[in-house]
Amino acid sequence: MTGWSCLVTGAGGFLGQKIVHLLVEEKELQEVRALDKVFSPETKDKFAKLQTKAKVTVLEGDILDVQCLKRACQGVSVVIHTASVIDVSGIIPRKIIMDVNLKGTQLLLEACVQASVPTLIYTSTVDVAGPNSYKEVIQDGHEEEHHESTWSDPYPYSKKLAEKAVLAANGCTLKNGGILYTCALRSMFIYGEESKFLTSTVNKALKNNGIIEKTGWFSMVNPVYVGNVAWAHILASRSLRDPKKAPSIRGQFYYISDDTPHQSYNTLNYNLCKDWGLCLDSSPNPPLFLMYWLAFLLETVSFLLSPIYKYRPPFTRHLLTLSNSVYIFSYKKAQRDLGYEPRFSWEEAKQKTIEWVGTLLEQHKGSLKTKTQ
C-alpha cells in the first residue's frame, strides 16, 4: 500500500472537493490528480493551499475525451469516479446526461484497462434502487434485498447502467496482465457546505420573504453529510488495496448513510436554515395522488408537443415519488466490510452546514447593497 497515486474525476464538484481534501491526509500518497471539465478559481485556490506532502495536480478535461482520460490514468493506482450530471427535474437534455454518466464511465473503464489501473471506486446513488412508488416503504434497507429503479428518467437510468458496467468490469484483465477491481458506493441524499440543492433552496427562500419552498410532503429519509460520503470513499480505496480485505469488497456495492436523524426533506432544510430566520411554507399540502395524476397529464402533454415544442413540466411523477417516499437504508454492510464509521457527527455536520448557510445570506445582503448603490 506504499507509494500510490489517485485520480478523482469530478474533483471540482460538491463531493469531489471533499474527497480530495481527505485524500491528501492519506499515508504514502504521492499524488492526487483532480480532474474536471472546469474548475472555479476558488476551487483551484483551495487545492493550492492544501498543506500536504502529496502533489495535487489539477487537470481540466472532458470525461468524454479519450485522450484526456488516457493521460489522466497513466501511472495511477486508484481511480475515484465521482463525475456525473445530476438532474431530477428534466432541465438538462437526456443525451447529455446519458453521455456523461454512462458513456463517460464506459470510456473511463477502458482507459483504466489500457493504463493498467488496478482499482476503481464508483460514486453511485440510492436513486439506482428507487423508489419506484410513493407507496413503497423501506425503513431499514440493505444490499441483500433486490431494489432496482424502474424509472426511464435519464438520471436514475444512466446511473443504474453505469454502476452495472463498473461492477461487471470487476475482475477484467488489464493491459499489463493485472486485474481491475471495482466497487460502488450508493449514497443517500447528500447535504452539507456547497450543496447546489441547498444553495437553490436558500436563494429561493431569500427571494420569497424568507419562506422555504416545500420539496415534498410525506418523505422520510436518512440524509448523509458530504464529509461522511467522502470518508467512505477513502475507506473503500484503502480496503480495495488491502490484500486481506479486498476479496470481500471486489464487485460489491454499498449503501452509504450516517447518523443524521431520519427526517423529511422539508425538515432537513428547516433544521439547516432556521437559525438565520428562514421558515417553512405553512400552506396546506395538496393530495399526493392528485399531484401524481396531474404530473402524468403534464408529461403526456410534453410528449405530444415534443415534435413541435419543447415543454418541460414543472414536476414529474419521478420527482414526486422521489420527494414523497419513506426510503431509509442501513450502512451496516459498509461498516462490516470497509470499517466505515461516520467521521462527522450529526451535530458537527449540522453546525458546519448552518455556518455555511450564513455565508449565503451575507452574499445576498452584499448583492442587495451593491444594487442600491
Catalytic positions are 155
Contact of 12 with 43, CB cutoff 8 Å: yes
- Smallest CA-to-CA distance from 234 within 2, 15, 22 is with 22
- 8 A C-beta contact, residue 335 and residue 104: no
Q: Which three cell numbers stand for residue 259?
A: 447518523
Q: Identify which of 248, 241, 245 has the alpha carbon closest to the alpha carbon of residue 77.
A: 241
As a dihedral over the C-alpha atoms of residue 72, residue 73, residue 75, residue 78, rounded to 10 degrees, the angle is: 120
Euclidean distance between CA atoms 93 and 110, whole angstroms: 25
Return d(Cα 115, Cα 76) in angstroms, integer. 8
Question: Are 43 and 49 a contacting pair, CB within 8 Å?
Answer: no
Angle between helices 265-273 and 346-372 (to 10 degrees): 70
Structure-block grid coordinates of residue 267: 425538515
The answer to whether 128 and 158 have CB atoms below 8 angstroms apart is no
DSSP per residue, 132-159: --TT-EEEEE-TTS-------SHHHHHH
| Residue 196 to residue 191: CA distance in whole angstroms | 9
Q: Would the CA dihedral through 90, 95, 100, 102 be positive or negative?
A: positive
C-alpha–C-alpha distance, residues 225 and 229, integer Å: 7
Closest CA to 68 of 77, 76, 78, 59: 59
User: How many secondary structure helices (H) and strands (E) does the chain include?
Assistant: 14, 14
Q: What are phi and psi of 367, to 5 degrees?
A: -70, -35
Q: How far is CA 164 from CA 135, 161, 282, in A?
A: 26, 5, 42
